[in-house]
Amino acid sequence: MALMASSLLNGERAVVLLVLTRILYSAAFSLLLLEAISLAFLVFAAFFVEISVENSTSKPKFSSRPGASSGILLGAVTLPAVVFSKLVQLSRGLPLQEVALAVFQYQKFLFWITYISCFSVLLFLGVIIQHSSSSRVALKCTITFVILGALVYLILPFDASHYALHFTLIFMWMLSHGVAAVKLIQHILCTFPSCASIGEALLVTVGLTTYFGDMLRSTLVKIVQYWMPSEADERYSVKRSEISTIIQGYLLGFLLFPLLFKVSAQIANRLISLSSYNARIWNEKGRSVLFFTLLAVSSAAVIPLWVQFVQDFQVHPLWWVFEFVFSEPLKRLSLCIYWVAVICISVHRFYNISRSSKVERILLRKYYHLMAVSMFVPALILQPNFLNLAFGVALAAFLVLEIVRVWRIWPFGEMIHHFMNAFTDHRDSEILVVSHFSLLLGCALPIWISSGFNDRPLAPFAGILSLGIGDTMASMVGYKYGVLRWSKSGKKTIEGTAAGITSVMAACSFLLPLLASAGYIQNWSSLLLAVIASGLLEAYTAQLDNAFIPLVFYSLLCL
């Protein structure tokens, strides 16, 4: 019995269950009873699916990243836990009237969206992978569960006079998210084989469907407000910041851009009849011209028109960004100059080291984590709104560069590919290079999520602390001085984990006096538990820690 329990409850699963227990314990059950029960149910369902998939003797239908476990439990509960922790935080502001009821209700709506998306994927994995049934069975199960989830959400407080509209909107929206999540994870795992574990693909799937579904929801609300002003419900019209709208619009536009380019290239090839020699020239030069023309038109006209419609900008969104930057030119331009100098010096130095020395790739990449700390901490303290915008610009630039690299767009595609290969490791592949995305998002997401009401000043620093300091120190100390390993097959050492936990606690002790103006009195035992839990998860997980650790640490810091 003890042997069976130990095989079911490995280190990663034990830490995840500890984290979820801490989150559920902190909930105000008078406000979040249904959500807490649903989250606990999701944990048990994900636990069961992960064990079933990993113990299945049938041939897997998807090629996951080599060396990684399935990670289904961690991937399924991370985003719902983040949204639930934010709900716990907002519930503390309701009695103080620092949080509007509409904001709290909309956060509940986001929780159910992530919950439906995760559970739909779990049903898909359980039915398709384990039992090898047809996709129609999984789709029917998904629709059934979405109906149940929509009915559960509908019993929350609402205006009875708009019951029909509420029911239709909520049901259709949750149904679309559930089906979209299933289709998207199929696309990710089939189109990019061996690039991610199932848990990592699940996290990306739910994140994309929730984040960009929110942008599409805002678009639909604006359409409803335009055509039927009397039917527009304030419950679904939470005020958004200009920066968040610009970032969402451009990121969604760039993610859809490869589809536009592919269709346009196919049309151009059919319209132009060329000899074999001219066709070869067209495939290189012509595709490049078409690519950058479409990119310029999309960036300067198509995406800004969409963003302007959603947010009611009085000027062109790019002009708004220009005015925002130059509203405080000395501070913001100084930060830009500082960032460019740090990036140029660091990239030049590290690239030369990677080509001429035998420094391990894992250590070389950790230098970028330290670079992130030096860049982001001053900006987060002095210019948090500008840092939000800068994260969006950097992520959009990364997306464009990755598209150019994957499609080998002349003349930059091959150069970018060879340059990126100098910093890849076993978690990257020839198809996708994701490490720089995960580092940037790991630092940015806690800051973006913390917008609005935030009575925990350390929460926005979750990514910078866990990745820039904790993960870096754990890797360096573990690599140089580590002897005692957490497991026989793993590389993580107890010495490295202890160094990571100690360094994060030291950084928190340094930051808290600087953030004393927030008026928050730190509970040190709660902070220590959050640091230890995230450190142990980093030690045990075989998933991409840049993606999961910051979100888990943020969830615990919100409590």
Q: Given this model, what pLDDT does residue 161 score?
A: 43
Query: What pLDDT score does 133 carry?
Result: 46
Instruction: Report, as an integer, the average pLDDT of 45-71.
Output: 76
When pLDDT is cut at 50, 70 and 90, the band that residue 74 belongs to is very high
485 forms beta bridges with 493
Mean pLDDT, the chain, rounded, equals: 81
The pLDDT of 341-360, averaged and rounded, is: 72
In this prediction, what percent of the chain has a pLDDT beyond 90? 32
Q: Which amino acid is at 162?
A: H
Tell me which of 267 and 444 has the higher pLDDT: 444
pLDDT at 166 over 90: no
One-letter-per-residue 3-state SS of 342-388? HHHHHHHHHHHHHHHCCCCHHHHHHHHHHHHHHHHHHHHHHCHHHHH
pLDDT above 60 (res 44): yes
- The whole-number average pLDDT for the span 49-60 is 74
Q: Please, what's the b/e burial string for 481-507 (b: 16 or more CB within 10 A of its CB; e: otherwise)?
A: ebeebbeeeeebbebbbbbbbbbbbeb
Least confident of 193-202, 364-373, 387-396, 498-507: 364-373
| Res 2: pLDDT | 47
User: What is the per-residue pLDDT across 292-350, written as a single tens digit (0 to 9) for each?
Assistant: 999 999 999 999 999 999 888 889 999 999 999 999 989 999 999 999 998 888 777 77
Residue for token pair 């198509």: 302
Model pLDDT for residues 218-231, shown as the tens digit of each residue:
887 777 777 766 55
Please measure the distance between the N-terminal and C-terminal CA atoms of the chain and give it in whole angstroms: 35
Confidence bin at 156 (pLDDT 50/70/90): very low
Residue 368 has pLDDT above 70, yes or no: yes
Answer yes or no: are the C-beta atoms of 65 and 194 closer than 8 Å: yes
Q: Look at residue 234 and tell me whether its pLDDT is greater than 60.
A: no
Is 1's pLDDT higher than 50? no
Could you count the other beta carbons within 10 Å of the beta carbon of residue 14? 15
Q: What is the 3-state secondary structure (H, E, C) of 380-448?
A: HHHCHHHHHHHHHHHHHHHHHHHHHHHHCCCCCHHHHHHHHHCCCCCCCCCCCCCHHHHHHHHHHHHHH
Query: Does residue 3 surpass a pLDDT of 50?
Result: no
pLDDT digits 0-9 by tens, 455-495: 888 999 999 999 989 988 988 888 888 788 877 777 788 89
Quick one: average pLDDT of 17-44?
88
Residue 157 is predicted with a pLDDT of 44
Helix (H, G, I), strand (E, B) or coil at 491: coil
Q: Which of 183, 187, 201 is nearest to 64 (CA)?
A: 201
Question: In the block, which residue shows the tokens 């000899």?
Answer: 275
pLDDT (0 to 100) of residue 61: 65
Question: What are the residue boundaries of the structural domains of the chain, listed by start?
Answer: 10-156+163-238, 328-558
pLDDT tens, 92-148?
988 888 888 888 888 988 898 899 889 888 888 877 655 554 445 555 555 555 555
Q: Which of 45-54, 385-394, 418-427, 481-490 has the highest mean pLDDT?
A: 385-394
